Each structure stands twice: as structure tokens, then as C-alpha cells.
Amino acid sequence: MSATSGTPLTQKVVLITGCSEGGIGFSLCEEFATRGCIVYATSRKLESMEGLSHENIRKHALDVTKEDEIHKVVQTIIAETGRIDVVVNNAGALAISPLAEATMEQVRNAFELNTFAALRVSNAVIPSMVKHQQGLIVNIGSIAGLITTPWNALYCAAKTALHAISEGLAMECRPFGIKVMLVVPGGVTTNISKNQAATLELSPTTMYKDYEPKIIQRMNASGAPGSMNATKFARKVVDKALSAKPPPYMTLGLHSRKFAFYQWLPRQYVLGKMYKNLVG
């Protein structure tokens, strides 16, 4: 029941970005909804969320690179429910390209989608959370933000920045009762590589033509054999998000433990290993 009807909601209200079918956001929507939450699912195109059919899910078109659209959706949710309890910043995209040949447009797009969007959405929601002295921001990072890999360094850089932003928000929002949970996935089976493949095109004059098979290998790494099922991933994340004390950090998925361990090793050794696997 809507807060505007005079009866306060007892269900958690959750806003999730990047909810296209076949992705992590899609699975998170279904899982939160199954747990009894009111879920606002968003994606750039409404038709990409047609598969979401749970009665607790409400769908809105949202381009997370446009501040006016973000504020419109946030204000719509608050008008209907009175608050937002959880926001999940999941929208993002790979940025496969040799860094030395990346255009400034590619650079900007990588950070717009994987870094700036999360901060825009969070900043639009935080005033309401401050008013209620409670709330949870869940940012979906990546193990690529822990260790840089060739051919996807723009994505690595953008996710590294998101990790730092998440830690900063956690400290700065704590006085207002707002928690921040950074989720760092390893390999999870989704459509993210398929979506990138449609736009991957090396320049006709590229100096990296001989490395194209390695570039494609890197693009498909997130869905490699052994990757975690997206439904299982969502279940584990929602378990923690809805717990009495959401953790500030969690990592899961293929290679997540390996990359966590790599952080303790000499950087020269780790980057050498990445080079050997994806270049040499």
C-alpha cells in the first residue's frame, strides 16, 4: 500500500539500476521482490525488463547518465512510498579497448556508467535517507577494480574509483544512520560480455590486430566456465543486504578469492601474471 494512502509501508522499498534481462540487476529485482520488498526496477529501455513479472516489481525507464531522469524517478518513488530504504547501484558496462587507442569518448563513457552514475543516484536518494535517519546504499563493484587487467583497463579504473567512492560514502554517511555495502563480484554468468561484443570494433589501423583473440578472451572472462549463477549471486547479496547488520564489503563469484589474495602479493608479480595470461 502506498504511503500516500495514509497507511505507512511495512515493506522495504528498493531502487535498483541496470535491470535488463540476463543481468545481475534483473536477478536482484526478483530476489528482493520474493523477500517481500517493493522493488523499483530501472533500465534505459523498459522493454529490456519485460521478463520481470513479480507483483512487487514496478518498472521505470532510467538513463543513469542523466541527472534529471534520476531525480524524476527518485521523486516518483518517494511520492508513492514515502521513502527509499535500499538503493542498489548496479548499472554499468565493460569498456573493452586497448588503452593506448581509446578515444576520450570511450573514457568518459566508462566512468559515466561505472562510476559517476552510482554517485548521482546515491546523492539523489541520500537526502531522503537522512530525513529518515536510515538507509542502505549497495554499490556493485568488481574484482577488476582490485587488479588491473589488459584490454579492459578503463573498466578497471572506473570500478577502482567506485570502490573508493563507496568507502568515502560509508564514512561520511554513517552519522546519519546510512550504511554503504560494497559488493565486489568475480565471474558471474550474465549478458555483460554479449552486450559488449555488439560494440567491440578495433580500429582498421590498430597496432593490436594480432592480439584480437586475447582481447575477445578478456571480454568473455566474466562468463567463463565456473562462473557463479546470477540467481545464486543475487540470493547471497540480498541475504546480507536485508540482514540486521549489512557488511561494508563482500566479494563472491569466480576468481573472487584469488583476486583478494593477489592484493597481498607484490604488484609486479601480479601484473606480470595478468600480462602473461592476456597478452603474452
What pLDDT is stored for residue 199 in this prediction? Answer: 67
DSSP summary character for residue 187: B
> Where does residue 205 rank: exposed (0-12), middle (13-18), buried (19+ CB within 10 A)?
exposed
What pLDDT is stored for residue 202 in this prediction? Answer: 87
The percentage of the chain sitting over the pLDDT mark of 70, rounded to a whole number, equals 95
Q: How far is CA 271 from CA 11, 70, 263, in A?
A: 46, 38, 11
| Mean pLDDT confidence for 227-253 | 98
Contact indicator for 140, 185 with CB cutoff of 8 Å: yes
Contact indicator for 17, 42 with CB cutoff of 8 Å: yes
Query: Residue 214 CB: number of other CB atoms within 10 A?
Result: 16
Active-site residue (options: 12, 40, 59, 159)? 159
**Residue 45 phi, psi (nearest 5):** -120, 125
pLDDT digits (tens, 9 = 90+) for 15-36: 999 999 999 999 999 999 999 9
Q: How far is CA 48 from CA 26, 131, 182, in A?
A: 10, 33, 26
**Residue 207 phi, psi (nearest 5):** -90, 5
> What is the total residue count of the chain?
280
Strand locations in the chain (E): 13-16, 38-43, 57-61, 86-89, 135-140, 178-185, 188-189, 228-229, 249-252
Q: What residue segments make up the domains of the chain, in order of their start?
A: 13-279
Active-site residue (options: 155, 179, 211, 262)? 155
CATH for the stretch 13-279: 3.40.50.720
What pLDDT is stored for residue 8 in this prediction? Answer: 57
User: DSSP for 79-141?
Assistant: HHHS--SEEEE-------S-GGG--HHHHHHHHIIIIIHHHHHHHHHHHHHHHHT-EEEEEE-
pLDDT digits (tens, 9 = 90+) for 119-128: 999 999 999 9
| Catalytic-residue membership of 155 | yes
What pLDDT is stored for residue 223 in this prediction? Answer: 84
Q: How far is residue 94's CA from residue 114's CA, in Å, rounded to a whole number?
A: 9
| Catalytic-residue membership of 159 | yes
Residue 79 pLDDT > 90, yes or no? yes
What pLDDT is stored for residue 198 in this prediction? Answer: 60
